[in-house]
Structures are given as C-alpha cells and as structure tokens.
Amino acid sequence: MPAQIPNDAAPLPLTALTEDEKLFQSTVRKFAREQIRPHVREMDDAAHFRPDLIRQFFDMGLMGIEIPEEFGGQGGTFFQSILAVEELSAVDPSAGVIVDVQNTICNNALLRWATPAQKAKYLPRLAADTVASYALSEAGSGSDAFSLSTHALDHGDHFLLNGRKLWITNAAESGFFLLFATVNPDAGYKGVTAFLIERDFPGFQVGKKEDKLGLRASSTCELVLDNCRVPKENVMGEIGKGYKIAIETLNEGRIAIGSQMIGLARGALEHAIAYARQRKQFGKAIGEFQGVQFDLARMAIEVEAARLLVYNAARLRDAGLPFLTEAAMAKYYSSEIAERVASKAIEVHGGVGITKDYPVEKLYRDAKIGRIYEGTSNIQLVTIAKKLLA
C-alpha cells in the first residue's frame, strides 16, 4: 500500500514566506491532509466532490480570502489564495481548482469591477455559502476567446441571453455565474459584456456534466441559456467592455493555475520520496540507489523553480506591479513540470504506480489539463514572445 506522508510534514522546500503566511499555509495543509485526503479516491471514482468538504471551505474562510471583512470575507491577499490552492492541490487538485475559481477569478472580478450595490449583494454570499463559476468558453471559442455566439438582446430593463457555454468549472455546485455574452456579434470583442447570473434566473440551466480524464471530482458542465432574463443592474462594468474584465481576470487566474500545478507536482514528489524510502530491492531501499536519487533531485529542482515563478508573479500582483509576462511564464512552466514530475513519480513507483492503489496515477491524469485550460501552453508562449519583441 502507499507510504503515508505524515500530516505534519512540511512541504519540500519552504520558500520565502512570512511567519503569518507559514501559519496560514500550515493550517490549510493540515486540513487538506486530515479532512480531504481520506476521500480523494472515492471522489475521483464517483466524479463528485463531497458537499460537506465545500461547506468546510466556506467555514474556514477559504472561499472568500480576498473579500473584505465588511462583506464577510477574510480580508486577505492574493498570495494567500495562491498558498491555499497549492496546499489543497498537493492532496487533490480538484479541491484546489474549486478554491481557485472562487477566489482568483470570480471574487477578484467583482472586487475590481462590480458596482457598490453588486458587491453588497453578492460578495457576502460568495464568502458565506455560494460557489461561483466563470463562464467564457463555448464550442467555437477556446483560445479564440471572444468569438462568442452567446448573445444578449436589450429589452429595456433587462437583457435576454441565448446560447450555450462549455467547460464551466464548478458549474454543478455553483449558485452564481460570471458569464460573458456579446451584445453585438458584428463588433467582435467590442461587443463582449459581463453579466452576473444567479442559478435560478428564468431561462438558465446547468446542462451536461463532462466525464473527464482528470480532475474528475471537480465538475465541468455545459450551461444552457434560453431567453435567460438578466436584469440591467446585473451587467458588470460597461456594456461592450467585458473583454477587458475577461482578459485581466484570466491573467490573474493563470497564476492560480500555476499554484495548482506546483501543488500537484509537490504532491507527486512527496509520494515518490515516501515510496523510495519504503520500497526495497536488492536488500536496500530504492532511495539508496543513485539513479533514483538523481530522479528525485531533478524533480525537486523543477518544483522549486516553478514555485519561485508562481510566487514571484503573485507578489508582483499584490504589489500592484505589472505581472502579465510573469503570469504566463509561471503558468507555462508549472504546467509543464507538473506533467513531467507526476510521470517520473509513477516511474519511481514502478509497476504499482499505474494502479489505482497508489495516488500518483491520479496526479498524472490531473496534470494534463494544466497545459490546456486558462490559456494553452502555446498561448502562454505567444504572450511571452510578444513582450520580448515589443
């Protein structure tokens, strides 16, 4: 059976954190290892995330980390959100992405662009009990994010929205959706507008849930809008300026995907180390063989390099400094090394590594999406190259 990682074991290594950040990190780590880890396999097999664990996310304040205390949140930092996503993802990347989307995309967008009335209405709910989703992607708009077919028609005091959204994370559990539609298809990206949609709005429905390779406990669903009635006061930002909200929010979200991937990679490394200490061949632990030692050392180097990229981008964001290129680098590299480290962790385990009796095969499956969502690896390379050539 898998070698157990002690619940009080520190991450490998511990990089450049303040004492308060270390305390926050250790609290989330302890929760993840004690409360989430026993259910990871069951949730993955069932493709369902336990509602009681989501309830605990809210009770711990993990769903409203940056939301100000006046709205019921923690009044924390973006960097704390990154730490939380990393720690949860080291145990289960499906848990990490739930907290990621809530904090770094949805909550963050409302904090920056919502009106005072919108903040007063929705932020307390997002901090207390309402899961949120970010709905941009469609069948015909992936990397070409703004070729939207979902359209919004102005009907005086409300809009009627029609169309379908695909690949919407958290949708099965969500009660709130930050959704993008175009008010003028002929205007291209200049027609894109952001709408705040509640699950029980007339004409709104959560559709098919995808059966996925990885992140199986995290729901990914289709959204169906059939004359969905959205009050005018639920337009966020200016009409036709939703593209700015989408782009800037995704830039921050990419840092969070980086934290999910470094958490995943670190989890795979920790399992590989534990197994290398336990597994014996030729009369000694396989960790005593130089070939295995070199594999583990290279894995640790890559995890630490990715962590530094992610932490740097998050620190820049909190400092109000430009971080677009750094976010792209962090997302690109962390997703690349997550897949590589998870693969190598399976090799360290040998034949048992590909069985469901051991956790590394799941982490390997979970890693694949990192190079695809929130901007593919090629999109990140384009972003970086444009900056270099500017």
For the annotated catalytic residues, the residue numbers are 374
Q: How many CB atoms lie within 10 A of CB 45?
A: 12
Give CA–CA dist 279/2, Å, rounded.
10
CA angle 40, 46, 50 (to 5 degrees): 60
**Residue 256 structure tokens:** 């969070």
Give CA–CA dist 11/55, Å, rounded.
26
Contact 84, 65 (CB under 8 A): yes
- By residue count, the chain amounts to 390
Nearest in space to 28 (alpha carbons), one of 59, 73, 70, 3: 59
Give CA–CA dist 324/343, Å, rounded.
29
**Residue 350 structure tokens:** 């040998």
Q: How many CA atoms lie within 13 A of 130 on its CB side?
A: 20
Q: How many CB atoms lie within 10 A of CB 169?
A: 27
Strand partners, 244: none
Q: b vs e for 328-344, b when ≥16 Cβ sit within 10 Å of the residue's Cβ?
A: bbbbbbbbbbbbbbbeb
Give CA–CA dist 361/367, Å, rounded.
10
Sign of the CA dihedral running 61, 63, 69, 71: negative
Give CA–CA dist 175/129, Å, rounded.
9
Question: Which residue is associated with the tokens 């993990």?
Answer: 62
Checking phi first, is residue 287 left (phi over 0); if not, alpha (psi -120 to 50) or beta? alpha
Give CA–CA dist 259/105, Å, rounded.
14
How do strand 192-198 and strand 280-281 relate by DSSP bridges?
Answer: unpaired
Q: How many CB atoms lie within 10 A of CB 39?
A: 18
